[in-house]
Structure 1
Amino acid sequence: MLNQRNWIITENCFDLKSQNHAETIFTIGNGYLGTRGTHEEHYPGEERTTFIHGVFDDVPIVFTELVNAPDWLDLTLRLGGEWFSLTEGEILSYQRQLDLRNGLLSRRVEWRSPQGARWLLLFERFASLTNPHLLCQRVTIKAFENTTVEARATLSGDTDNLNYKHWDWLGQGLEHNNTWLHLRTRSSGIELGAATRLTVDGGENLEHTAWDTRNAPTLVVTTELKSGDIVEIEKITAFYTSRETTDPQGAARRALETLPKRAWSGLMESHARAWQREWEACDVVIEGDDRAHLAVRFSLFQLLAAAPRQDERVSIGAKALSGYGYRGHVFWDTEIFMLPFFTYTRPEIARNLLSYRFHTLEGARKKARENGFNGAQFAWESAATGEEVTPTWVPHPTDRTKLIRIWTGDIQIHISADVCYAIWQYWQATGDDDFMAHRGAEIFLDVARFWASRAEWNGETGCYEFTDVIGPDEYHDHVDNNAYTNALARWQLSTALKVLDWLEGRYPTKAAELRRSLELDESELTRWREVAEKIYWKQDESNGLIEQFEGYFQRRQIDLQALEPRTQSIQSLLGIEGANEANILKQPDVVMLAYLLPELFDEKTLRVNYEYYNARTDHTFGSSLGPAIHAIIACRVGKPDEAYEHFMRAALADLEDVRGNAHDGIHAASAGGIWQAIVFGFGGLRFEPDGPKTYPCLPRHWRRLVFRIRYRGQPYEFDLCNPQTGVAEG
C-alpha cells in the first residue's frame, strides 16, 4: 500500500527565530527515547533535549518530570581552521528533511566560510528502531580545496531541563575512539550509562585524540583533505538505564563493542526495514490532497516514534517525547485520543499502554484514599507511579509575581472512566481475554468502587450527582453534573458489572480471587446498580438538547463571530473567570460524548447537539483535542466540508503551528484524533455483527482514501473512492 508521495517533511531555510518550532517538527524517536531536532552544532535559544521513557525525577512545583538525557548530538566541526556555524559565513544552499518512511533526519548545507572556503556537508541521524538503545549520526563532508577537517564529538552530561539540573556525575572514561559516561538522577536514583564511538573514513594523516573533561568527555579526530576529497564521520551512541539493567554503564559500552568498524549502513538497513513493517500495518493514503496526506503521516510517525514496544510500565505523555510541555505527564489524551490508533493497527503497543495503568493502579488507589473515596481514582496527570502529579499552582503567564490555582488534579475526575473505556475498546477489538481477566477486570472493579463512593445522593432530585467537577471543557470549572462525566460514570458502573459477570463465567478462579482481594460483596454490587440507574441526566425532551452541565444554559451568551478576527483564546481575552462565566467552550463535552457513546443519540439528537455546541466552541484557540472529534461528528451528520475544516485545523496544529505553541512539543492527542477522524469520520468505519463496515463521507476533492486495521486478529484494508468516481471497498 505504500506509495512514494507525501513522505518528506522539508525545511528550506535556516531561521533562528523559528528553531524551537522546527526542533519539535524534526523530533525523531524509537519508542525508547525521543530527541528534538536541534542541530549538531550549537545555537542560542536551542532546546537540546532527549527524553527516555520512564526516566522521571523530582522538580519543584510540577512534582516530577522526564529528565533531559545526556546530549548525544554534539558534533562540532572545524573546517580549514574555521568553526562551522550557519550564523557565520554564507549559506549557499540549505535543506533539512525528515523522511517519515524510515525516520531519517538529514540536512544538506553548502557553506562558504568567513574566509571564503567552500564546503558541502550532509548531516544524517536516526534513532534505531531495531535496537532502541542505539543512536546513529553520520556527517559527509566534501572539500573544494586542500584543507583540514577537525571533528569534536562530545558526550555531554551537563544537560538541564530548562535550567533545572537532574543528573549527578558518577564516572566516565576514554578508550581510543570510544568514551563513556555514568550518571544518576538526583531524587529518583535512576542510573544512566552512555557510550559513544567516533570513526572517520577518508582523508590523510588521520589523528585521534581525546579530552577527559569532567561530565563532557570528548573525542577529537583530525584529517587532511585534498580538493574534491570526501570524508565520512560516524558517531554511534548507546544509552541504557537502571530501569532495564543493573549495569547500564557496562551495557552501553558492550553495545558498541559488538558493532562492526563501520556500522552505519547495516544499522540503517535494519532500521529502515523495521519502519517499513510499521507503515505496512498502519499507513493511510489520501489521493487528491497532498497537504492533508503529509500531515496525517507526520502525525502517525510521531505516535509511532513515541510508542513503547519493549516496556509496559510507561505510557505516552501529552507531548509524546518531543518537548517540555506538561513535563512528560500522562493524561486521558493517551486512552481516548492516541490509543485507538494502536488498538486497531498495533494492538501489541496498545496492550503495553494499557498495562501502564495496571502497573500504576496502586497510585490510583492512593489518590482515592487521600480524597476520602474507595477504589481507584486515576490521576489527572500521571508519571512513574500513577500518583497525582498535576501542579497545584503555576506562575501567571504575564505576571510572574502571581500564581494560578490549577484544579484539574483535584476535580477533573472523568479520566477514571476514560481509562476503562479504552480497556473495553481494546478488548472488543482484539478479543484479548487474558488481558481483561488478569489486568483489565481489576481496574474496572476498583474504578466502579470509586464512582459509587464519589456519587452524592440528592433527595430533592432523586438522583445521584457528581458536583464540583471539571469536564473535558476546561473553560468551566467547579461545575455540577457535567454531562460527559455523569454519562461515562454511568457507563463505567454498568460495564463493570458486565465484566464481573463475564469473569465469573469464564475465569471463576480469578473472579473469586478479585472478590476476596477487593473485599467485594453483593451489597456493594447492588449499590453500583442503584447508582448507575439513578445518575443525574438532563436532556430537553422536545428537541434532545443535552445541557453540558447544570446551569450551562444560563451562562453569559457571547457571539464568537463578533470577536473575529482574533489571535487569542477566549480565556486569554476574557480571563479565567470571564471565560468560566461565559457560554463559550474550550471543547464541547456533549459532542465528545456523542462520539464515545453513540447509543445515547438518535439522528435528530446528534444533529441538534452538534450544531448547538459547534457554534459555541473556541475551535482555533481552544483545545487541540476538539477539532478531530468535531470532524467525526460532522461526517455523521452529513457535513463533509465542515468536517474537513475541523480536520485540517487538527492536522496542521504542529506542522504549521496554528496555535502558536508547537515549540512545547507535538500535540500527541491531536495526532491520534487525526487518525480517528480519517477512519471513523471520513471512512465511516463501524463494527457490525458480521465484521467491520465502512460508510464513507469523503471531502469532495478527495479522490481516494485507503487505510488498514486489525480486528479480532484479522487484517482488513479499506479502499474507498469518492462517489463521483465510484466506490471500491476491500
Structure 2
Amino acid sequence: MQARIQAILFDLDGVITDTAEYHYLAWQRLADEEGLPFNRERNELLRGVSRRASLEIILDGRVLDEATLQAWMARKNGYYQDLLQQVSPDDLLPGVAALLDEIEAAGLQAAIVSASKNALTALDRLGITRRFAVIIAGPEDDAPSGYRRPKPCPDLFLLAAQRLNLPPAACLVVEDAASGIEGARAAGMTAVGIGPSERLATADLVVFDLAGVGLARLLAAATWHVNEAAFNAASPHHMETALTTGNGYLSTRGALEEGFPGDRQATLIHGLWDDAPIVFTELANAFDWTALELRIDGASFRLDQGEVSAYARRLDLRRGRVERRLYWRAPGGTPVELTFTRVASLADPHVLVLRVTVTALEGAAEIRLRPWLNGHVENEGLLHWQELEQGNAGDAVCLTSITRHTGKRLAMAMTVTAGVNGKELAGAYADCPGAPGWDVTTRLPAGATLTLDKLVSVYTSRDTDDPVGAAERKVGEMKRMGFDAIEHSNESAWRKFWQAADVLIEGDDDAQLAVRHALYQLRIAASATDDRVSIGAKSLSGFGYRGHAFWDTEIFVLPFFTYVQPTIARNLLMYRRRTIDGARRKAAANGFAGAQFAWESAETGDEVTPRWVPGPQGEELIRIWCGDIELHITADIAYAIRQYWKVTGDDQFMMEAGVAIVLEGALFWESRAEPDTPQPGCYSISDVIGPDEYHEHVDNNAYTNATAAWQLRFAADCLAWLTRNAPAQANALRLRLDLTDGRLARWADIADNLLILQDPESGLIEQFAGFFNLAEVDWPAVQDRTESMQVILGIDGANEHQVLKQPDVLMLMALLPDEFSHSELQVNWAYYNPRTDHSYGSSLGPAMMARVACLMGQPEVAYEHFMRAARADIFNVRGNAGDGMHIASSGGLWQALVFGFAGLRQDGDGITTSPQLPSRWRRLAFKVRIHDQWHEVDIRRSA
C-alpha cells in the first residue's frame, strides 16, 4: 500500500549545480550569431525543456529545415560543452554535498533525471558521478515505449524508477523547473521545488535552495499523499476506503472508474435514507457518477485485462483529489498512457468532476470514451431506487429517481467536454436505459493526447423542491467555469481548511501521514451547512453500520470540530436537537421519562440498531442488545454539549437547544436509576452495556453510572444558568418538564449516591458489579492471535472473562480527569490496561488509551497505542478497513495529540499545555479556537 520514499531523484541544472548559466550563454551566443532576439527573461522559458524544444521557443515561429535545426543544436551544444570545462567540485550548489551524505547514510538511493545529454560530463567535472545509482541524461531513443518523452511528460522519471526497481510512489523528485514539477507529479512522485513559489506552485514543498534543508524535511513532503503503488486485485476494498473523495455533502469510495469485479462502488449522500422493511434503515447508494467506459482499438480497458505498467494512484490530501496514471496495452494493441483525476469540490458540495487523458504512445489508436451515469447501483444486494428516469437537454445528460420507501428524489446531471491537443471534439448522447452517457470517438494519432472532462452535479429533494432543474442549472455553470477553474476553487477551499486544521509532527512521517489522512477524512465526513445530519460510524466511506450515528460522533469525532471548526460542531449537536422526538419515543416505549437517545440513529432519532445480525460465518443469528441497554450515549451527548459550550461560549446554542437536550436526558436518568436494595440510600442502574461491549447485561457499570451522575449535576447547573440569563425561557422549561424543586433535589441525591464500585483504600474501581469475580484470560496463550478475544472465546466466553473490548474505567478518567487523583489513575491503569484487547478489540480504544497514557506520564507507551490507532485505516492493520473508515479512531487521533501529547487544557479564554512528546518526535504544532480566538501551540524538543 503506502510506499516509503526510497530514492531521491535530482534534476541537474539549477539543483545540483548552476549550469543553467552556461546554457544561457551558449544559447545567447547562437542567437547573436543568427540575429535572433533572446534575453534572460526569455531564457526562463527554457527551464527543464529539451534542446529541440528550447530552440523552437527561441525561433518563436520561424521555420527551419531539419538539417539546419540539427546543425544549430549541435553548435549550441558545442558552445555549452566548452563552457562545461570550467566546472569543478567547487560548483556544487550549497547544501547538495551534505544532502547526498544524508541520503547515503539513510540507506536511500540517489538518481539524476536531467533533460541534458551532457549531464554525465557535468557530474564527472563535479566529481560526484559515483553517488548516483541511476543517471538519466535526456530522452533515450532505445528506452521502452512510454519512457522516451521529455519533461513535462513523466517518462524520464518513470524510467529512473524502473531502473531503480522502485514504484513511482517510492521516489521523491527535486526540481527547479515547472516542467519538471509537472512531470514528477504526473509520474505519481512527490515533488520538491527549488526557487520561487510562484513558479513552482504545484510542488509539494518549495524551498529557496538546498542549504540547510535536511533529508527529513524533504521526506516530510511525502506525508500529503496516500499512495497505491500497485493495484491489489485480490483485495481492492481497503484502498477504496482509503482513497475516498468527498466534501461533507457526499463521499465517493475509491473504486475504479472503469469498474472491477467485486468492487464496492459507493457514493453516499448525507440524509439520503431509505428503509429496508422490517430489517433496517440505511443510506441509499447514490448513482455512480464516476462511471466510464474506455475502448482502445475495440478492446475494453480494464485492470484485469491487458498489460499494465508504471501504475500509480494516490490521494492528494492537500488538494483533496485522487489521481491515477498507468500505461496499458491491450493484447496485440497499441500502448497508451492513461490518467484520471477525480474531485468532489469542497468549494461547492454539488460539484463533481473527473478528468481523463489518453495518450497514444507508439502508433495511432481508435479511441471510444463513454462517460455515463450509472443508476444500476445497490447496497450490497439491496435495491433502493424506483424506476429510473433519464434524458438529455442539449449536451446535458440527466438521471433521476426516488427511493423506494422514503420517497427522496436524487438527480444527477452531466456534461462533457473533450479535445485532442486542444482541438475540441464533438460527442453524442448515448441513451442506455438506467445508464445515460455521452459517446466520444476519435482516431488518436501517435503522440497525441485526448482530454475528456466529465462534469457532474448532484441534488436531492432535501436540498430543493426541483433537484432535476437545480442539477441541470449547476452543470451549465460548471461547463462555463471549466475543469481548471473548478479544481482551483476546490484547492483554495482545501488550503483554507489546512491552514486551520493541520497538525504538524516532525520526526515521524508515518504518524504525520496517518494524522493528515484522519483529518482529511473527518472533514469530508461532516456537512458544513446541514444541521439535520450527523456522522456515521463509518462516515460516508462505506456500507459498514449503514450510515448510522453512534456515540462515536460526540465523544470521539466532535471535539476536533469543536476546537477547529465550531460551526460544524454546532450542526452536529443541532442534529440531536432536531431528532430529540425519537429519543423521547424511545424513552416512553421503554417506560422511562425524558429523552433516551438511540444507540444507532438515522433520520428521525428513533432507534435503528438491528436486533439480530448473522454470525461471523452466517450460520446463526446473534442478538444485538446495544439498542436496548447501552444507555451511556445520552450522557455522552450531554458531555459533548458541555465541551462545545465551554470552548465556544455559544450561549445562544444553549438557549436554543443545549439546555433542553441536557434536561430531558437528566429526566431519563432520574427514571432509569433505581434505589439499591442492598445498600439503602444508594441508587443502581442495572442491566446495561458499557463501552466495553464484551460484557452484556451488567449492573452498575462504572462509566454509565458516573456519566449519568455527571449529567444530572450538569443539568441542574444548566437550569440555574438559564434562570439567570433567560428567566422566561427557564420558567417555560420548568413547566413543560415539571422541574420542581423536589425533582432537582432528587437529581442531586441520585448523582451523589449512584453506585460507583470503588475500593476506598486502593482507589481501584470495579468496571461493573461482579467483574472482579470473572475468570482471568491466559494472555500468553493468545499473544499471536489475529482475531478479537470475543471471536476466540465466543460471546458467552468473553462475557465470563476479565477481557475488555475497551476499558470503561480508563475512558471515564480520560473524559473527567479532574474527578480522579493521579494515584487512582495509576492503580486503575495497572489493572485494566493488561486486560484490554488492544489489537482486535474496539477501534475506539487505542487513541483513548494513548491519551490516558499521557496522563500517566508514559509518552512511549502512549505512542504505541497512538500508532495502533493511526494504522487502523491507512495501513489496514485490522483487516476491515474495506468496510469504511474507523472515523472515531480518526477523531481520537486528534484528541490524543492535543489533549494527550500536548496536554492542552482550557483555562478560561486561554489554554495551558503540559507536553510529553515521544522520543522520536521533534515537534508537534497545531491551532485551536477558544471563544472565537485562535491559539497556536508549537512544541519543540529542546536540543
Q: Structure 1 counterpart of 2:579, which letter?
A: T
Q: 1:426 aligns with which of 644, 654, 670?
A: 644
Partner of 1:178: 396
Q: 1:122 aligns with which of 339, 351, 357?
A: 339
Q: 1:198 aligns with which of 404, 410, 416?
A: 416
Distance across 2 between alignment mates of 1:92 and 1:568: 36
Alignment of 1:381 onto 2:617: no
Distance across 2 between alignment mates of 1:205 and 1:422: 54
Alignment of 1:562 onto 2:781: yes
Alignment of 1:148 onto 2:362: no
Partner of 1:693: 912
Partner of 2:631: 413
Distance across 1 between alignment mates of 2:291 and 2:701: 50
The alpha-carbon deviation at position 208 of structure 1 amounts to 1.9
The alpha-carbon deviation at position 514 of structure 1 amounts to 1.6
Q: Structure 2 counterpart of 1:717, which letter?
A: E
Partner of 1:728: none
Which one has a larger percent strand, Structure 1 or Structure 2? Answer: 1
Does 362-371 or 10-19 show the bigger shift?
A: 10-19
The runs of at least 4 consecutive aligned structure 1 residues that moved more than 3 Å come to 1-5, 203-207
Does 589-598 or 211-220 show the bigger shift?
A: 211-220
Change (3 A) 1:405 1:261: same
Partner of 1:22: 239
Distance across 2 between alignment mates of 1:484 and 1:104: 41
Please say if residues 415 and 479 of structure 2, whose CA atoms lie closer than 8 Å, have aligned partners that are also in contact: no
Distance across 2 between alignment mates of 1:25 and 1:170: 31
Distance across 2 between alignment mates of 1:458 and 1:104: 57
Matched position secondary structure for 1:254: helix
Does 298-307 or 504-513 show the bigger shift?
A: 504-513
Q: 1:88 aligns with which of 296, 300, 305?
A: 305
Q: Structure 1 counterpart of 2:776, which letter?
A: Q
Q: 1:132 aligns with which of 326, 349, 368?
A: 349
Distance across 2 between alignment mates of 1:47 and 1:171: 24
Distance across 1 between alignment mates of 2:894 and 2:887: 11
Matched position secondary structure for 2:446: coil
The alpha-carbon deviation at position 261 of structure 1 amounts to 4.5
Distance across 2 between alignment mates of 1:519 and 1:690: 35
Give the alignment of 1:278-677 within 5 angstroms.
278-400=497-619, 402-462=620-680, 463-677=682-896
Write the deviation string for residues 44-89 of structure 1: whole angstroms up to 9, x where unpaired.
1001100000111001564200110001010111112221112111
Please say if residues 588 and 614 of structure 1, whose CA atoms lie closer than 8 Å, have aligned partners that are also in contact: yes
Partner of 2:215: none
The alpha-carbon deviation at position 689 of structure 1 amounts to 4.2
Write the deviation string for residues 134-159 of structure 1: whole angstroms up to 9, x where unpaired.
11000011112222211111111111
Partner of 1:7: 224
Distance across 2 between alignment mates of 1:423 and 1:476: 28
Q: Structure 2 counterpart of 1:336, which letter?
A: I
Does 507-516 or 622-631 show the bigger shift?
A: 507-516
Write the deviation string for residues 405-446 of structure 1: whole angstroms up to 9, x where unpaired.
000000000000000000000000000000011100000110
Change (3 A) 1:633 1:695: same
Identity of aligned residues (%): 52
Matched position secondary structure for 2:401: strand
Matched position secondary structure for 1:653: helix
Distance across 2 between alignment mates of 1:209 and 1:529: 73
Matched position secondary structure for 1:258: helix
Does 145-154 or 546-555 show the bigger shift?
A: 145-154
Matched position secondary structure for 2:924: strand
Please say if residues 375 and 388 of structure 2, whose CA atoms lie closer than 8 Å, have aligned partners that are also in contact: no
Write the deviation string for residues 352-397 of structure 1: whole angstroms up to 9, x where unpaired.
0000000000000000000000000000000000000000001111
Write the deviation string for residues 219-274 of structure 1: whole angstroms up to 9, x where unpaired.
11112221111111000111100001000111101111223456110000011000
Please say if residues 177 and 199 of structure 1, whose CA atoms lie closer than 8 Å, have aligned partners that are also in contact: no
Distance across 2 between alignment mates of 1:81 and 1:634: 60
Distance across 2 between alignment mates of 1:383 and 1:255: 29
Please say if residues 561 and 568 of structure 2, whose CA atoms lie closer than 8 Å, have aligned partners that are also in contact: yes
The alpha-carbon deviation at position 520 of structure 1 amounts to 2.7
Q: Structure 1 counterpart of 2:322, which letter?
A: L
Please say if residues 176 and 209 of structure 1, whose CA atoms lie closer than 8 Å, have aligned partners that are also in contact: no
Partner of 2:24: none
Matched position secondary structure for 1:715: strand
Matched position secondary structure for 1:167: coil
Distance across 2 between alignment mates of 1:205 and 1:389: 52
Partner of 2:443: 224
Please say if residues 176 and 208 of structure 1, whose CA atoms lie closer than 8 Å, have aligned partners that are also in contact: no
Distance across 2 between alignment mates of 1:496 and 1:123: 53
Distance across 1 between alignment mates of 2:618 and 2:883: 20
Distance across 2 between alignment mates of 1:434 and 1:76: 52
Please say if residues 61 and 394 of structure 1, whose CA atoms lie closer than 8 Å, have aligned partners that are also in contact: no
Matched position secondary structure for 2:622: strand
Q: Structure 2 counterpart of 1:149, which letter?
A: I
Please say if residues 61 and 391 of structure 1, whose CA atoms lie closer than 8 Å, have aligned partners that are also in contact: no
Please say if residues 62 and 389 of structure 1, whose CA atoms lie closer than 8 Å, have aligned partners that are also in contact: no
Distance across 2 between alignment mates of 1:690 and 1:355: 24
Distance across 2 between alignment mates of 1:188 and 1:517: 32
Write the deviation string for residues 643-702 of structure 1: whole angstroms up to 9, x where unpaired.
100000000100111111111000000000000001111111112247201111100010
Greater C-alpha Rg: 2
Q: Structure 1 counterpart of 2:532, which letter?
A: R
Q: 2:375 aligns with which of 157, 172, 178?
A: 157
Please say if residues 318 and 331 of structure 1, whose CA atoms lie closer than 8 Å, have aligned partners that are also in contact: yes
Distance across 1 between alignment mates of 2:512 and 2:359: 36
Q: Structure 2 counterpart of 1:498, which letter?
A: D
Distance across 1 between alignment mates of 2:773 and 2:424: 81
Write the deviation string for residues 74-132 of structure 1: whole angstroms up to 9, x where unpaired.
01111122211121111121000100011110001111221131101110001011110
Distance across 1 between alignment mates of 2:625 and 2:265: 32
Q: Structure 2 counterpart of 1:714, which letter?
A: Q
The count of residues paired between Structure 1 and Structure 2 equals 723
Distance across 2 between alignment mates of 1:629 and 1:255: 43
Does 443-452 or 105-114 show the bigger shift?
A: 105-114
Distance across 2 between alignment mates of 1:336 and 1:710: 18
Partner of 1:242: 461
Change (3 A) 1:94 1:61: farther
Distance across 2 between alignment mates of 1:206 and 1:439: 55
Q: 1:187 aligns with which of 391, 405, 408?
A: 405
Matched position secondary structure for 1:652: helix
Change (3 A) 1:195 1:571: same
Q: Structure 2 counterpart of 1:468, which letter?
A: D
Alignment of 1:42 onto 2:259: yes
Does 472-481 or 169-178 show the bigger shift?
A: 169-178
Consecutive unaligned residues of structure 1, counting only runs of 5 or more, are: 726-730
Partner of 1:69: 286
When the two chains are superposed, the root-mean-square deviation of aligned CA atoms in Å is: 1.4
Q: Structure 1 counterpart of 2:742, which letter?
A: S
Please say if residues 62 and 390 of structure 1, whose CA atoms lie closer than 8 Å, have aligned partners that are also in contact: no
Consecutive unaligned residues of structure 2, counting only runs of 5 or more, are: 1-203, 206-219
Please say if residues 674 and 683 of structure 2, whose CA atoms lie closer than 8 Å, have aligned partners that are also in contact: yes
Matched position secondary structure for 1:615: helix
Distance across 2 between alignment mates of 1:27 and 1:404: 31
